[in-house]
Amino acid sequence: MRITSALVDPALIDLPWSIPLEQWPADQLVALPQGISRHVVRFVRLGGTVYAVKETRERIAEREYDLLRALERLGAPAVEAIAIVADRVDELEPVLVTRHLQFSLPYRALFSHTLRPQTLDRLLDALAALLVRLHLLGFFWGDCSLSNTLFRRDAGAFAAYLVDAETGALHLRLSNGQRDEDLEIARTNIFGEALDLQAAGLLHESIDPEHVSDDVVRRYEILWHELTHEQAVLASGTTDSRRQIDKRIRRLNELGFDVEEVAMSIVEDGGERRVTLRPKVVDAGHHTRRLLRLTGLDAEENQARALLNDLDAYRAESDIPDEAQAAHRWLTEVFEPVIRAVPPHLRGKLEPPELFVQVIGHRWQLSESAGRDVGLAPAVQSFLADVLVHRPDEQAILGFDPEEV
Ligand SMILES: Nc1ncnc2c1ncn2[C@@H]1O[C@H](COP(=O)(O)OP(=O)(O)OP(=O)(O)O)[C@@H](O)[C@H]1O
Ligand SMILES: [Mg+2]
């Protein structure tokens, strides 16, 4: 047996590698929701960490391992590759070990609560944004589908992660043809999945499967255009053109993307001067990065945006001009007390940033109906007692059966 690993967890060696994954004893496994797959996939807990173990063919395991590692270096939203275990006895197939993505939900688990059309919209937005982000990095997925994606809650929206990179390829830059091909694959896959959901009675009756798949492509095209289109501006060097550039960059930041540079080109056309600008968008995560820098908190993009709003409001109220100092005070005096108020048995229900975001939303609702601000502490108590206890566990390491939810 041979283990190739980026992070050697010695406990990995003790797993029952001489038995086919399908026959691993139940006491080694964690029952967690998972998507549909050709290969056998199981979850195991070692120490405090849960891993996903997938039996696959050797060349594929290596390829996927390398690609996931490369995506990680680029900061792409994807599951993290941990190890390959090959040369097992009796010619058992090699396995790829990835870290289980905490609080993630495969789409089947989401659909089992008869999904409302608005929720579906958000899932499709998240999937389209994931494909855009991967394409910006030069990654051709080759098998984009709902079952190859994991979703995490993100302040009323979803953040999507790639889980299956088996068919992918990383290029310096993708051509339009490559992007189109990837989109067509996504369209076909998602259409098939939506048909399956419909057949299983899980698709809302107002939703048409063909519309679902076309919609992902449409959302992708809109976002791609927004991020990359060349824009005509008035004339270079004027205040107006500077304002236009600023506006474009702010708009891209609002969408969560950072701009690395702006290329301007100037064309003299029959005495008329035309200036165009094209931003080089790097990656999403604008708010995530600002929050991380200020507070050390790691949150999804929309969560980060909501937390930053709260932080900015706190800073204005408490009149602390220094951003870093305000952030530190907010973290220790506002954020952390809310998280600490959650009793241990409820901690697996929502991860801390999501919990905080939902608490602020709850406070707003209570205040609206009371006609005055109810304050943070009562809002926390009411959220714990009236909302959180009724929620399913999503921490995943605790394990839950989505069918029961
Ligand atoms: N690291 C992980 N964290 C959470 N879930 C995971 C992880 N790895 C795999 N899964 C679950 O296992 C399922 C199957 O994984 P994957 O898509 O890699 O298998 P596959 O057999 O290669 O799929 P395909 O049939 O598309 O080739 C996923 O849909 C996901 O639900
Ligand atoms: Mg898959």
**Rounded-to-integer distance, Cα 125 and Cα 218, Å:** 10
Using an 8 Å Cβ cutoff, are 400 and 104 in contact?
Answer: no
As a whole-number percent, the residues of the chain with pLDDT over 90 amount to 56
Give how far the C-alpha of residue 365 lies from the chain's centroid of Cα atoms, to the nearest Å.
27
Is the beta carbon of 402 within 6 A of some atom in ligand 1? Answer: no
SS3 213: helix
Higher pLDDT, 256 or 56: 56
**Rounded-to-integer distance, Cα 163 and Cα 124, Å:** 16
Cα(243) to ligand 1 centroid in Å equals: 46
Contacts of 371 (CB under 8 A, 6+ apart): none
- Residue 401's pLDDT is 35
C-alpha distances (whole Å) from 297 to each of 252, 254, 287, 290, 364 are: 23, 20, 11, 10, 23
Point out the ligand 1 atom lying closest to the alpha carbon of residue 147.
Answer: 29
**Rounded-to-integer distance, Cα 302 and Cα 158, Å:** 9
- Residue 76's pLDDT is 92
What is the amino acid identity at position 399? G
**How many other CB atoms are found less than 10 A from the CB of residue 221?**
14
Q: Could you read off the pLDDT of 159-209 as tens digits, one per residue?
A: 999 999 999 999 999 999 999 999 999 999 999 999 998 998 888 888 899
Using an 8 Å Cβ cutoff, are 252 and 227 in contact?
Answer: yes
Is the beta carbon of 124 within 6 A of some atom in ligand 1? Answer: no
- Residue 239's pLDDT is 67
Residue nearest to atom 1 of ligand 1 (CA): 100
- Residue 113's pLDDT is 57
Does 238 score more than 70 pLDDT?
A: no
SS3 63: helix
Is the beta carbon of 396 within 6 A of some atom in ligand 1? Answer: no
Does 94 score more than 90 pLDDT?
A: yes
Please tell me the number of the ligand nearest to residue 56's CA.
1
Confidence of residue 225 (pLDDT cuts 50, 70, 90): very high
Higher pLDDT, 356 or 7: 356
Residue that the structure tokens 């003299």 belong to: 268
Q: Please state the rounded mean pLDDT for residues 208-220.
A: 94
- Residue 102's pLDDT is 86
Is the beta carbon of 54 within 6 A of some atom in ligand 1? Answer: yes
Higher pLDDT, 395 or 404: 395
Cα(354) to ligand 1 centroid in Å equals: 24
**227 — phi, psi (to 5°)?**
-80, -30
Does 273 score more than 80 pLDDT?
A: no
Cα(148) to ligand 1 centroid in Å equals: 6
- Residue 160's pLDDT is 95
Q: Which residues pair with residue 49 across a beta bridge?
A: 46
Residue that the structure tokens 């499967």 belong to: 209
**Rounded-to-integer distance, Cα 16 and Cα 26, Å:** 12
Point out the ligand 1 atom lying closest to the alpha carbon of residue 98.
Answer: 1
**Rounded-to-integer distance, Cα 208 and Cα 127, Å:** 18
Does 12 score more than 80 pLDDT?
A: yes
**Rounded-to-integer distance, Cα 259 and Cα 239, Å:** 20
Q: Which residues pair with residue 275 across a beta bridge?
A: 233, 266
- Residue 236's pLDDT is 56
Cα(347) to ligand 1 centroid in Å equals: 26
| One-character DSSP codes across 322-377 | -HHHHHHHHIIIIIHHHHHTS-GGGTTSS-HHHHHHHHHHHHHHHHHHHTS---HH
Lowest model confidence (mean pLDDT) among 14-23, 108-117, 127-136, 298-307? 108-117
Cα(37) to ligand 1 centroid in Å equals: 6
Residue nearest to atom 20 of ligand 1 (CA): 37
DSSP at 402: G
356, 362, 349: which is closest to 398 by C-alpha? 349
- Residue 404's pLDDT is 37
Is the beta carbon of 182 within 6 A of some atom in ligand 1? Answer: no
- Residue 403's pLDDT is 34
Point out the ligand 1 atom lying closest to the alpha carbon of residue 80.
Answer: 1
Is the beta carbon of 96 within 6 A of some atom in ligand 1? Answer: no
CA angle 97, 397, 307 (to 5 degrees): 105
What is the amino acid identity at position 251? R
Calculate the average pLDDT of the chain.
88
- Residue 217's pLDDT is 96
312, 328, 240: which is closest to 277 by C-alpha? 240
Does 235 score more than 70 pLDDT?
A: no
Residue that the structure tokens 């680029």 belong to: 74
C-alpha distances (whole Å) from 238 to each of 233, 235, 241, 242 are: 10, 6, 5, 6
Q: Which two tokens stand for residue 228?
A: 């990359």
CA angle 221, 289, 312 (to 5 degrees): 105
- Pocket of ligand 1, candidates 41, 98, 193: which has the most ligand atoms within 8 Å of its Cβ, to mutate? 41
**Rounded-to-integer distance, Cα 356 and Cα 80, Å:** 26
